[in-house]
Structure 1
Amino acid sequence: MNAHRTLIRRTALVAGTGVAALVLAACGGDSEHDMGAMGESRSTPSASASITAGDHNAADVSFAKDMIQHHRQAVEMAELAETRAASAETKDLATKIKGAQDPEIKTMSGWLTSWGEEVPADMSGQGHDMSSGMPGMMSMADMDKLKAAKGAEFDKMFAEMMIKHHEGAIEMAKTEKAQGKYDPAKKLADEVIKAQTAEIEQMNKMLGKS
């Protein structure tokens, strides 16, 4: 009888030990998973902040703010071509310029917001003279002349003004590449230089200059 009781006690002890081990293993697994999740939750904000805020400097902020305004004027000029240009080539080029620069405006606006900077108010089409402070910008008088032109006269004026405008954008982009710190901004600056240099060559051909 004593032997039988001893056997029962040993069986119960082993069973209890097994259950305890299972519980501990389960808890340990949950604890490890929770710690991992906590680690992820802790790392996510900093990673997110790194992605949004980025490693930028004052040159990047100036580039984004100025280029947004610069692009807005180019888009305004391109939109005039829809109803005023005579040649299909001028209309196609204007559509290409607008299609490229509209998304870039949105991209740069997103950078400024993530950096805690204000996105410049849109002054295009409102009679404000934005020619000061940025290379290649058209004055109010320039824009009024372009708006008044039609047909072949518009095509010529558009190409001449857009060449000057593009040259200013390229100058700004080169400054960003030399002084900026934010890699996406420097990459965009490089794209601006390549695309707008090619468009200048195209417009010079349209004007019979090359």
Structure 2
Amino acid sequence: MKRLTLISATAVAATLALAGCASETGSESTMPGMDHGTASASPSAESSAAAEHNSADAMFAQMMIPHHEQAVEMSDMVLAKDGIDPSVTELAEDIKSAQGPEIKTMTGWLNAWGEPVTMSGDHRMEGMMTEDDMAALEAAQGTEAARLFLTQMVKHHEGAVKMAQEETANGSNPDAVAQAEKMAKDQSGEIDKMKELLAGL
């Protein structure tokens, strides 16, 4: 009897040990799932944070997109002309390469925020050229075209800097505010460069 009892006790102990191992293995097998669940919650939180914005952020992007589009159009005009000073051509290429991607970035923000890309109503954008201004640039050639492009673009950039400064002061989305700060800095530097080029024409 004592021997049987000892065997039974040993069997029970072994069974409990195996059950414990199975339990531990089961717990370990659930960890990747738990980790995955935690990871999947993170992008959602990031998306929520990215979508946070105020009316100043939306207005900044909605107004700056057509503003940039006109700058790209002006640059295309001068790049299509002959007899333009190489320094002016280089500047026009720089403006296109900088502002084209920024248009895509700002369009992406508005889509992520659930805001329309085109602003409703009539809103005045600082520094925008009129149809007559654009026609004059289109018609100009050579040094006259270079001078007109620089004169117009200084005004255009000054308007953009002002709009960017307003976003820096009033916006709430970190990406939009950071982009506005960069725009103000970059375009202020280009204004100085354009004034130097004008003095040399």
Shorter-chain TM-score above 0.5: yes
Letter in 1 for 2:19: A
- C-alpha distance in 1 between matches for 2:43 and 2:182: 31
More displaced stretch, 183-192 vs 38-47: 38-47
Deviation at 1:32, TM superposition (A): 4.8
Match of 1:174 among 160, 165, 173: 165
1:101 aligned residue = 99
1:151 aligned residue = 142
Poorly superposed stretches of 4+, deviation over 4 Å = none
- For this pair of structures, how many residues does the alignment match? 197
Provide the secondary structure at the position in 2 that maps to 1:135.
Answer: coil
1:208 aligned residue = 199
What is the CA deviation profile of residues 52-104 of structure 1, one whole-angstrom value per residue up to 9, with x for unaligned ones?
x1x31101100001001100000000111212151101100000000110111
More displaced stretch, 194-203 vs 90-99: 194-203
Deviation at 1:33, TM superposition (A): 4.6
Letter in 1 for 2:112: S
2:3 aligned residue = 4
- C-alpha distance in 2 between matches for 1:72 and 1:33: 48
Q: Is it true that 1:22 corresponds to 2:21 in the alignment?
A: yes
- C-alpha distance in 1 between matches for 2:42 and 2:198: 56
Letter in 2 for 1:181: S
- C-alpha distance in 2 between matches for 1:90 and 1:198: 15
**Root-mean-square deviation over aligned CA pairs:** 2.0
1:66 aligned residue = 63
Deviation at 1:150, TM superposition (A): 1.2
Deviation at 1:17, TM superposition (A): 1.1
Deviation at 1:144, TM superposition (A): 0.8
What is the CA deviation profile of residues 16-35 of structure 1, one whole-angstrom value per residue up to 9, with x for unaligned ones?
11111111212233345544
- C-alpha distance in 2 between matches for 1:23 and 1:75: 66
Q: Is it true that 1:81 corresponds to 2:81 in the alignment?
A: no
Under a length normalisation based on structure 1, what TM-score does the superposition of the two structures give? 0.86
Deviation at 1:120, TM superposition (A): 2.7
- C-alpha distance in 2 between matches for 1:191 and 1:43: 28
| 1:40–1:167 CA distance, 2 compared to 1 (3 A) | same
- C-alpha distance in 1 between matches for 2:27 and 2:193: 68
- C-alpha distance in 2 between matches for 1:139 and 1:46: 44
Q: Which has the higher contact order (CA 8 A, sep 6+)?
A: 2
User: What are the ranges of 5 or more consecutive residues in structure 2 without an aligned counterpart?
Assistant: none
| 1:48–1:70 CA distance, 2 compared to 1 (3 A) | same
Letter in 1 for 2:176: A
More displaced stretch, 198-207 vs 23-32: 23-32
- C-alpha distance in 1 between matches for 2:151 and 2:30: 69
User: What are the ranges of 5 or more consecutive residues in structure 1 without an aligned counterpart?
Assistant: 122-130
